[in-house]
Amino acid sequence: MFTKILIANRGEIACRIIKTARHMGIATVAVYSDADRDALYVKMADEAVYIGPAPSNESYLVVEKLIQAAIETGAQAVHPGYGFLSENAEFCRQCAANNITFIGPPVEAILAMGSKSAAKTIMANADVPLVPGYHGDDQSPDLLKHEADTMGYPVLLKAAAGGGGKGMRAVYSAAEFDSALHAAKREALNSFNDDIMLVEKYLLKPRHVEIQVFCDSHQNAVYLFERDCSVQRRHQKVIEEAPAPGMTPELREKMGAAAIKAARSIHYEGAGTVEFLLDSRGDFFFMEMNTRLQVEHPVTEMISGQDLVAWQLIVAAGEPLPCSQEQLKINGHAFEARIYAEDPDNDFLPATGCLSLLTPPAESSHVRVDTGVVEGDEVSIYYDPMIAKLIVWDTNRTRALARLTEALSRYRVAGVTTNIGFLYNLATSSAFRAGDVDTGFIEHHSDEIFRRREEDIDYAAPLAASAALTLRQAHAIAIARQSNETNSPWHLSNSWGRPRPTHPLQIQQSQRILCANTETDLSHSSIVATEYGFGLFTPQGYFSCRELLPDLGVDNLDTDSGNLKAPMHGTLIGLMVDIGVAVKKGDILLVMEAMKMEHTVLAPSDGLVTEFYFKAGALVEGGAELLSFEGHDR
Ligand code: ADP
């Protein structure tokens, strides 16, 4: 076994790998950029090497820097985690050339699965069932359109080099094809420097069911059952669970056998995931194989009792798999919810800022929190805005789901907008409770997930009103203090005269006053500062100030501004309307690109744009005013 490994990654997954390595007596080397100097994983590792500026293409994606760090520290192996260089054939090659073990599959397997289109050809030859579609080399727009027309709409355009749902567009009719192709190619080129597309039949109401496989260098191969990752937004996973609801032992065995066949066909070694779409008739189709550890691997660990990172290290060291297929058993049920800094009410736009309050639920044999951040850390624009993975386990799905909702209601984050309230609504929705999931789940159930039940609002509104008053009191105290102090830590807003406490002390103070002011039992309740004013944690879940505004007698927090702001730091890629020309509510006014995704800014009402403050191509700060809008209702 290795005595020292380097982790070519950051954040949550670096922490996760360090935990297992430490358990196995293996020393760890972390690498860090300027943005991660004080990060948790850097503190946890035995050694740390600085590898450059914050942008990942100047640090975490620079193969030579990582290889150099491994050589300098004498690491015998490199764990790439997920994302970054985890599926990069050149990195794998360079490791081998420098006598460093890559903790992952052989380079040939990475290459074989690296392109979704090439992977499909290999799988078709191995008789693994595929989604009908075109995955050829001829990329002329006319041919792609012809293929789509022949297949029949809806179709899905996918970047061959894709990942994370980027460069993907559903097309519902021939009329939309050209513009969708253009947008998908632009996003793919931007994210992967490659705009080769495949066209697939867009299956309606499929489930995303993936099989965890493991192979060693002694020709052993097993599958560690399935994960259902159907609940997605923008084709990205939101809540994952294992086992899949409604899965039969027969279907599991069939899918497991197909996954092993897929892995064997490329002489796989290590941890891999074969992703399938499963339709309502129980037919399943190969989508892609991920040649790395998945974000959602913890749910498999919880139901199988195995440590998949330990398995990776064992296999990479040339030892046989720890278990045979017969020895592997499913025990109970697990969920993982991805806690993200993002705004579900604003098309899941990534959020950034300081985690001024961060209190996860207590960990136990039922609750596990995999994270890479602590209170006071910054969610920056440079990396994925995931805050943590909340994983729960119990003996069956109903009990595990109760654990999940309980843990979500106790998860407290302030300073950054998060999806916790949204996850809570999702987890408590009747359709999710019934296990009736498919990849369109969030869209189909948006009424239930995005909106609150009346009785919950009735419950929370008085608390919110009280919280608002309390925060104003705290605000007044803060102003008084500020006038006596230079360099005050209090951050105050001038719009609406509304308080925006971002300092933990101010929150604590507000909570104390709130408890004293209200007659309601607040043993579970607390208030926190958010981007929009405040949020309220109650036994019924989380309420944002915005949700409760009608009950507070305030219609709009931003009444002081007729302007529209950049949702985040990014590039303006298109001004979509002309100055002075009437637009309808919801029309696209401009398109921004941030974190390699396109975001649109919409007209808040019928009206017209009187001025754009930036030209297309400009880099704008998050929160910057982009344009002046005159509403017809003003
Ligand atoms: P990525 O690698 O970008 O994550 P995937 O190929 O894994 O892309 O697809 C992501 C998600 O998109 C799937 O989990 C599924 O929800 C949806 N999807 C992909 N292909 C299809 C299809 N042919 N029909 C319907 N949905 C699909």
- 389: which 2 tokens? 């993975």
Cα–Cα distance between 270 and 113 in angstroms, integer? 14
The alpha helices in 317-396, defined as continuous H runs, are none
Q: Which of 27, 26, 33 is nearest to 11 (CA)?
A: 33
Q: Lowest-pLDDT range, 198-207, 430-439, 544-553?
A: 544-553
Q: Reply yes or no on domain 207-447 having CATH 3.30.70.600.
A: no
Looking at residue 610, its pLDDT comes to: 92
DSSP single-letter state for residue 130: B
The 582-583 sheet, strands edge to edge: 563-565, 625-631, 607-612, 582-583
Looking at residue 501, its pLDDT comes to: 39
pTM of the complete model: 0.81
Residue nearest to atom 6 of ligand 1 (CA): 287
Q: What is the pLDDT of residues 527-558, one digit of tens each?
A: 665 544 566 776 666 676 655 555 444 333 33
Residues 6+ apart with CB under 8 A from 484: none
Cα–Cα distance between 225 and 88 in angstroms, integer? 26
Residue nearest to atom 19 of ligand 1 (CA): 287
Q: How far is the CA of 365 from the centre of ligand 1 (A)?
A: 33
Q: How far is the CA of 207 from the centre of ligand 1 (A)?
A: 10
Q: Where are the domains of the chain?
A: 4-103, 132-201, 207-447, 454-485+498-545, 563-631
Ligand 1 pocket member 288 (CB < 6 A): yes
How distant is the alpha carbon of residue 292 from its chain centre?
17
Q: How far is the CA of 228 from the centre of ligand 1 (A)?
A: 13
Q: How far is the CA of 210 from the centre of ligand 1 (A)?
A: 12
Ligand 1 pocket member 155 (CB < 6 A): no
Q: How confident is the model at residue 593 (pLDDT cuts 50, 70, 90)?
A: confident
199 forms beta bridges with: 134, 157
Looking at residue 455, its pLDDT comes to: 66
Q: How far is the CA of 235 from the centre of ligand 1 (A)?
A: 6
Residues 6+ apart with CB under 8 A from 412: 357, 358, 359, 360, 526, 528, 537
Ligand 1 pocket member 129 (CB < 6 A): no
Q: What is the pLDDT of residues 460-477, one digit of tens each?
A: 766 666 666 666 555 555
From the list 233, 252, 292, 338, the catalytic residue is 292
Strands 197-201 and 133-134: antiparallel
Residue to mutate, 277, 295, 384, ligand 1, most ligand atoms under 8 Å from C-beta:
277
Residue nearest to atom 22 of ligand 1 (CA): 202
Cα–Cα distance between 371 and 388 in angstroms, integer? 4
- Which atom belonging to ligand 1 lies closest to the Cα atom of 201? 23
Ligand 1 pocket member 208 (CB < 6 A): yes
Q: Reply yes or no on domain 4-103 having CATH 3.40.50.20.
A: yes
CATH of span 132-201: 3.30.1490.20
Q: What is the rounded average pLDDT of the residues 440-465?
A: 77
- In this predicted structure, the answer to whether residue 499 has a pLDDT above a threshold of 60 is no
Residues 6+ apart with CB under 8 A from 222: 213, 214, 260, 321, 323, 324, 325, 328
Q: What is the rounded average pLDDT of the residues 109-131?
A: 92
- Which atom belonging to ligand 1 lies closest to the Cα atom of 159? 3
Instruction: Count CA atoms within 13 Å of residue 434 on its CB side.
Output: 8
Q: Catalytic site residue 452? A: no
Q: Which of 422-431, 479-488, 619-628 has the highest mean pLDDT?
A: 422-431
Name the amino acid, one letter, at 621. Answer: E
Q: How far is the CA of 435 from the centre of ligand 1 (A)?
A: 20
Ligand 1 pocket member 275 (CB < 6 A): yes
Ligand 1 pocket member 165 (CB < 6 A): yes
Per the document, the length of the chain is 634
Between these two residues, 544 and 280, which has the higher pLDDT value? 280
Q: How far is the CA of 402 from the centre of ligand 1 (A)?
A: 29
pLDDT over 70, % of the chain: 82
Q: Lowest-pLDDT range, 209-223, 335-349, 538-552?
A: 538-552
- In this predicted structure, the answer to whether residue 352 has a pLDDT above a threshold of 70 is yes
Q: What is the rounded average pLDDT of the residues 612-626?
A: 86
- Which atom belonging to ligand 1 lies closest to the Cα atom of 167? 3
How distant is the alpha carbon of residue 218 from its chain centre?
35
Q: How confident is the model at residue 452 (pLDDT cuts 50, 70, 90)?
A: low
Ligand 1 pocket member 203 (CB < 6 A): yes
**Contact yes or no for 384/374 (Cβ under 8 A):** no
Q: What is the pLDDT of residues 281-300, one digit of tens each?
A: 899 999 999 999 999 999 99
Ligand 1 pocket member 86 (CB < 6 A): no
Residue to mutate, 151, 287, 291, ligand 1, most ligand atoms under 8 Å from C-beta:
287
Residue to mutate, 196, 439, 442, 443, ligand 1, most ligand atoms under 8 Å from C-beta:
439
DSSP string computed for 35-72:
GGTT-HHHHHSSEEEEEE-SSGGGTTT-HHHHHHHHHH
Between these two residues, 473 and 130, which has the higher pLDDT value? 130
Ligand 1 pocket member 131 (CB < 6 A): yes
**Contact yes or no for 527/510 (Cβ under 8 A):** yes
Between these two residues, 473 and 131, which has the higher pLDDT value? 131
**Contact yes or no for 210/276 (Cβ under 8 A):** yes
Q: What is the rounded average pLDDT of the residues 437-456?
A: 83
Q: What is the rounded average pLDDT of the residues 363-386?
A: 95
Between these two residues, 596 and 132, which has the higher pLDDT value? 132
For 563-631, CATH number out of 2.40.50.100, 3.40.50.1950, 3.40.50.1970, 1.10.10.60 equals: 2.40.50.100
Q: What is the rounded average pLDDT of the residues 140-145?
A: 97
Q: How far is the CA of 168 from the centre of ligand 1 (A)?
A: 8
Between these two residues, 472 and 84, which has the higher pLDDT value? 84
- In this predicted structure, the answer to whether residue 488 has a pLDDT above a threshold of 50 is no
pLDDT over 90, % of the chain: 64
Cα–Cα distance between 604 and 631 in angstroms, integer? 8
Looking at residue 431, its pLDDT comes to: 93
Q: How confident is the model at residue 136 (pLDDT cuts 50, 70, 90)?
A: very high
